[in-house]
């Protein structure tokens, strides 16, 4: 049985959800999976609990803030200890250790997932991606648009390494709690709180809608560097009594969070492919999201969700008001969202695509 070693981020973000969806999609136990969680943030407690539930051995390699060469040494030792038949790297910054192991053990395929929106990449990210094209066997991207962009940028023989595999989730776990959405009382969003997410516009739009619909509440799940600023904006808009920040939620509470919502909103400046949106769609929620790369390839506007002009609070408020006033549209979008999630984003579809890579 092949051992697949997964190297992923230890904190809140899409890596954990992607990893657990892939592993849980291996329902027949065709591979032995091992996880190495890495990062500045402590490993989330829920990650360890889910690994134990799935019978996946795991370890955590801490990285110090800033330059930390020792981190790559420690990560390299953990990779060697795991003795992989296939290396699957979820974060570009983890590449040096994986590449070194690859050079020492040439028989081991190195697969790299590139899941950050290209227009949001820093200079260092492009450096790591260039390294990936040189040393990795395959580069997994989440959409055809992403593949086309990289093909234009890198050209040459390296582009043959690109393969498109969208993310997936457990649609049996993320599923509607009830049928229908008779009345909207609670809006919400779940993500890491960081500058590439546009929570300020979400708060501004909610303030506008709340003036007309005072019974509404806004629930925000997630943690990150912009938390304090967002709480300050909330206070300045006099919304502290109707906006609640939940912080980081373990997956079992996140499912409950999604079930508590009547309408899901995802305000962002860009994604590669949003796990949070997939989860909301799978839970049968009507979704309103920014019309940006990594979102508009998941949602067809007016068919299984609504898109609004990114950064435009008035446009977002208008979309929210539309769904508040049109029950039939809200229910139709919710049902279509669930159907899209099952047909395109299930863990079974995800695993079958990766299985093709593992077997090559």
pLDDT at residue number 14: 63
Residue 353 lies in a domain: yes
Strands (E), the chain: 3-9, 32-39, 58-62, 86-89, 110-113, 138-141, 162-164, 186-190, 217-221, 243-247, 263-266, 287-290, 306-308
- CATH number for the domain spanning 125: value is 3.40.50.2000
> For the chain, what is the domain count?
2
Same domain, yes or no, for 89 and 44?
yes
Give the model's pLDDT for residue 145: 84
Please indicate, yes or no, whether residues 262 and 340 belong to a single structural domain of this protein: yes
In a domain, 303, yes or no: yes
Dist CA 146 CA 141 (whole Å): 6
Residues 37, 147, single domain; the answer is yes
Task: Please indicate, yes or no, whether residues 105 and 203 belong to a single structural domain of this protein.
Answer: no
351 and 319, same domain (yes or no): no
Joined together, the tokens standing for residue 15 give: 């890596």
In this structure, are residues 60 and 75 in contact, taking their beta carbons and an 8 Å threshold? no
Q: What is the pLDDT of residue 360?
A: 61
Give the single-character DSSP code of 94: G
Cα-to-chain-centroid distance, residue 304 = 19
pTM of the model: 0.77
- pLDDT above 90 as % of the chain: 76
**Residues 203, 186: Cα–Cα separation, whole Å:** 14
151 and 7 inside one domain:
yes
Residue 117, φ and ψ in degrees, nearest 5: -55, 135
Q: Does any domain span residue 181?
A: no
265: helix, strand or coil: strand
- Condensed to tens digits (0 to 9), the pLDDT of residues 180-191 reads 556 789 999 999
**In this predicted structure, what is the pLDDT of residue 251?**
78
Q: Do residues 105 and 59 touch, judged by C-beta distance below 8 A?
A: no
Answer yes or no: do 8 and 148 share one domain. yes
Same domain, 139 and 231: no
Domain of 144 in residue numbering reads as 3-168+346-358
Same domain (yes/no): 154, 261: no
Q: How many other CB atoms sit within 10 Å of the CB of residue 207? A: 20
Same domain, 24 and 149: yes
The verdict on residue 176 lying in a domain is: no
Chain segment 336-346, per-residue pLDDT in tens: 999 999 999 99
Residue 180 maps to a domain = no
pLDDT of residue 305: 98
Per-residue model confidence (pLDDT) at position 3: 97
Q: Which is it for strands 138-141 and 162-164: parallel, antiparallel or unpaired?
A: parallel
**The pLDDT value given to residue 181:** 55
Same structural domain, 191 and 70? no
How far apart CA 151 and CA 338 sit, in angstroms, is 32
Whether residue 34 is found in the same domain as residue 102: yes
Asked, for residue 175, whether it belongs to a domain, the answer is no
Residue-wise pLDDT tens digits, 277-287:
999 999 999 99
pLDDT at 105: 78
Q: Which residues of the chain have pLDDT under 50?
A: none
Residue 12: predicted pLDDT: 65
Is residue 225 in some structural domain?
yes
- Asked whether residue 327 is assigned to any structural domain, the reply reads yes
pLDDT of residue 13: 63
């Amino acid at each position: 049985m092949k051992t697949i070693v997964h190297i992923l981020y230890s904190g809140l973000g899409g890596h954990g959800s992607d990893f657990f969806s892939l592993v849980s999609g291996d329902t027949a136990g065709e591979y032995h999976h091992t996880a190495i969680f890495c990062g500045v943030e402590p490993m989330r407690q829920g990650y360890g609990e889910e690994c134990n539930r799935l019978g996946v051995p795991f370890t955590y390699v801490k990285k110090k803030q800033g330059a930390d060469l020792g981190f790559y040494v420690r990560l390299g030792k953990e990779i060697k200890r795991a003795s992989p038949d296939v290396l699957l790297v979820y974060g570009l910054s983890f590449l040096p250790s994986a590449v070194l192991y690859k050079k020492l053990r040439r028989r081991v395929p190195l697969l790299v997932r590139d899941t950050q929106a290209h227009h949001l990449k820093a200079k260092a990210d492009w450096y790591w991606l260039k390294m990936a094209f040189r040393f990795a066997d395959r580069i997994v991207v989440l959409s055809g648009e992403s593949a086309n962009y990289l093909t234009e940028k890198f050209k040459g023989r390296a582009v043959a390494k690109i393969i498109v595999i969208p993310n997936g989730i457990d649609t049996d776990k993320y599923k509607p709690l009830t049928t229908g959405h008779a009345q909207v009382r609670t809006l919400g969003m779940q993500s890491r709180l960081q500058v590439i997410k546009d929570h300020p516009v979400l708060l501004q739009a909610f303030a506008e809608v709340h003036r007309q619909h005072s019974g509404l509440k806004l629930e925000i799940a997630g943690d990150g560097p912009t938390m304090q600023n967002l709480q300050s904006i909330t206070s300045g808009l006099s919304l502290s009594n109707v906006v609640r920040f939940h912080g980081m939620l373990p997956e079992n509470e996140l499912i409950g969070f999604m079930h508590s919502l009547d309408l899901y909103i995802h305000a962002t400046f860009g994604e590669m492919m949003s796990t949070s949106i997939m989860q909301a769609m799978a839970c049968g929620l009507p979704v309103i999201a920014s019309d940006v790369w990594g979102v508009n390839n998941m949602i067809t506007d007016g068919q299984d969700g609504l898109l609004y002009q990114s950064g435009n609070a008035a446009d977002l408020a208008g979309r929210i008001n539309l769904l508040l006033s049109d029950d039939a549209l809200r229910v139709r979008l919710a049902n279509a969202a669930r159907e899209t999630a099952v047909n395109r984003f299930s863990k079974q579809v995800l695993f079958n695509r990766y299985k093709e890579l593992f077997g090559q």
